[in-house]
Copies of this chain bind each other. A is one copy, B any other.
Amino acid sequence: MSALKDMPPAEPVASRASRIVIVGAGFAGLEAAKELGKAGLAVVLLDRQNHHLFQPLLYQVATAALSATDVAEPIRKILRRYESVQVLLGEVTSIDMAGRVLHLADGSSVSFDYLILATGATHSYFGHPEWGRIAPGLKTLADARKIRAQSLLAFERAERTIDPEEQARHMTIAIVGGGPTGVELAGSLAELSRYTLARDFRSARPEAARIMLIEAGPRILAAFSEKISDYAKRRLEKLGVEVFVGTRVEKIEKRSITFDGRTVPVGLVLWAAGVAASPLAAQLGAETDRTGRVLVDEAMRAKGLDKVFVMGDAAHFVGVDGKPLPGLAQVAKQQGRHLGRSLARHFRDGAPLEPFIYRGRGNTAIVGRHAAVFEQGRTKLTGWIAWLFWAVIHVYLLVGFQHRLMVSLQWLWRYITFERGARLVTDDSIESRPPEAAAAREAAPTIERADQP
C-alpha cells in the first residue's frame, strides 16, 4: 500500500515531545492508546466516564441479565501497563482549533499537537427531542440502568393496579427501531417476561406482556441479508413479539405511542432507532455528513484539518465498496489499532501514515435463547449454531476483562435456570421518580387492595 496522495511527501518527523490527545475510551480510542503506549509515546486519553464499556452486551444490563460491572472495566486498569499513557477523567465541552486546546466541563483545559477524536455516537430522535425524555435509548450504563428500572417498574405497577386496562397498558412495551439493538432488546424482554418473571407475580401475568418492535424500513436487521431478516422476524414472533415493519412512529407520549394512524396505550417506550455522531465532532469545524459524522480520508484524518484524526462512530470513513463503514465495534477496534500503529511508525521514523482497510469478520446479532444470526459474505448462519458462534465471539471479545469467566458462568446459570440475577431497581437509577410517583397518584386514586385472598 503506497503513501496517501494528500500526504506531504517530506513531512518532518514529528517530535517525540508532541502531545497526542485522544478523546474517548471506546473501542477505537482504547486500541489507539494501547498501540501508542506500546511505542512509549506520551498520550493523554480523556473520557467523561472512568470506564470502558463493552457496548455489545449493554442490552443485557438493560434487561437484567448482567450487572453493570460485567460489561464495564476501569480505563486506568486496562491501560495500567502503558506508562506513557495518562488517563484523565473529564468531559470536553469545546474545541479551540486555532489555539489547539480542549476545554473541559470543569473549566480546565488540555492542549494538543495531535488530536484523535473517538467520541462515538449518541441517540437521535429525528427532530423530536421531546421523545428523548419519554423513550430512553441505550448508550451508557446509566441508560441501561434506567431501562432496567423502568422495565421492572412497569411490571411492579401492573401488580399494584386492579384495573385490567391499566394492568395491560403497564405491560405493553414498544421498542422503536429494528436494528440489532432493537431486536436484542425485544427478544430479551420477551424472555424476561415469559420465563423469568412469569412465576413471580400474583395479580399481574408478565407472560402476557405485549412487546412491540416497530421498524420504519421494510425489514428488521437491514444490515443482514433478507433470509436472515425473515428468520429473526419469525423467531421474535415465536417469542410473542409483535413485529411491525414499514411502520413509522408518528407520536410518542407518556402513556401511548401512535403509528399507522392508531394509538396504542403503553407502559414503556424504548428507543433503538436513530444514532448521530457525538456533538463534539461538529466542534472541529470539519465537513460532516448528515448524521454529524466527520468526513475523513484513508488515514482517518479529518478532511481539511491538520493533525486531527477521527475514528469509530464519529467518523464517516468510506470503505472499499464506496459506502461509509457501519457503526460496529470491530470497525472501531480495527481503526484504533491501525491508527495507533501507523502514528507510532510515523513518530519513530517519519513513515507516512498508512491507509486503513476494514476487514469484516462477520456480523452477528442475537434474537433469544438458541437463536442468533451470523453472516459473513456468503456464510449465513441462524439458530443454535449461530447462537454458539455469538456466545463464543462475545466471551472472547471480553478480552482483558476479569469478568470473562464471570459472564460465562452467569450465562450458563441463566441458561439452565432462566433466572436473571440483575433484577435491581435502585433509587439512583430512576431519574424520573418524583414525576412517576405523581403520575401514579393521579392514575390510582386510593386503590384499596380488595383483591387480597
User: When chains A and B are docked, how far (Å) is the Cα of A396 from the Cα of B29?
Assistant: 43
Residue pair A199, B68 in contact (C-beta under 8 Å): no
Complex-state Cα separation, A447 to B107, whole angstroms: 8
- Least Cβ distance of A396 to chain B in Å? 19
- Whether A83 contacts B202 by the Cβ 8 Å rule is yes
Q: Given A409-B406, A419-B77, A428-B142, are A440 and B200 neighbors across the interface (CB < 8 Å)?
A: no
Of A145-153, A298-306, A340-348, the one touching chain B: A145-153
Does chain B have a CB within 8 A of A108? yes
Closest to A74 in B: B423
Separation of A424 and B54 alpha carbons in the complex (Å): 13
> What separation, in Å, do the CA atoms of A284 and B453 have in the docked complex?
26
Contact B84 A424 (CB under 8 A): no
**Which of A44, A88, A403, A452 lies at the interface centre, i.e. has the most chain B CB atoms within 10 A of its CB?**
A452
**A70, B107: Cα distance in complex, Å:** 37
Which residues of chain B have C-beta atoms less than 8 A from A428's C-beta? 141-142, 145-146, 428-429, 431
Chain B: CB-nearest residue to A51: B424
Q: Are B423's CB and A44's CB within 8 A?
A: no
Q: How far is the CB of A350 from chain B (nearest CB, A)?
A: 21
The answer, among B109, B200, B403, for a CB contact under 8 Å with A448, is: B109
What are the interface flags for A95-118 relative to B under an 8 Å C-beta threshold, 1 for contact and 0 otherwise?
Answer: 000000000011111110000000
Whole-angstrom distance between the Cβ of A159 and the nearest chain B Cβ: 7
> Given the complex, which residues of B lie within 8 Å of A89, measured CB to CB?
153, 156, 159-160, 425
Which residue of chain B is the closest to A428 with respect to CB atoms?
A: B142
Assess whether A385 is interfacial by the CB under 8 Å rule: no
List chain B residues, Cβ under 8 A from A403.
421
Q: What 1/0 flags go to A45-75 for Cβ under 8 Å of B?
A: 0000111000000000000000111101110
A window 406-431: CB within 8 A of B = 406, 409-410, 413, 417, 419, 421-429, 431
A80: contacting residue among B70, B199, B437, CB under 8 A? B199
Interface string of A322-357 (1 = CB under 8 A from B): 000000000000000000000000000000000000
Distance of A146 from chain B, by nearest CB (Å) = 7
Q: Are A108 and B74 within 8 A (Cβ)?
A: no
Residue among B19, B69, B107 making CB contact with A444, cutoff 8 Å: B107
CA of A291 to CA of B328 in the docked complex: distance in angstroms?
56
Contact with B along A173-201 (1 / 0, CB 8 A): 00000000000000000000000010111
Please name all residues of chain B whose beta carbon is closer than 8 Å to the beta carbon of A90 when the two chains form the complex.
160
With A80-B200, A88-B160, A419-B402 in contact, is A426–B142 under 8 Å at CB?
Answer: yes
For A9, list chain B residues within 8 Å (CB). none
A77 to B87, CA, bound (A): 41
A87 to B156 Cα, complex, angstroms: 9
- Among B50, B72, B108, B145, point to the contact of A447 (Cβ < 8 A): B108
A405 to B, closest residue via Cβ: B409
1/0 per residue, CB under 8 A from B, across A205-239: the answer is 00000000000000000000000000000000000
CA A422 to CA B152, docked complex, whole Å: 23
Q: How far is the CA of A9 from the CA of B230 in the complex (A)?
A: 73
Residues in B with CB closer than 8 Å to A72 are 424
A256 part of interface (Cβ distance < 8 Å): no
- Excluding A76-B201, A107-B444, A146-B428, 5 further A-B contacts by CB distance (< 8 Å) are A69-B69, A77-B200, A86-B159, A87-B159, A141-B428
Closest 3 CB pairs of A and B: A67-B69, A107-B441, A76-B200
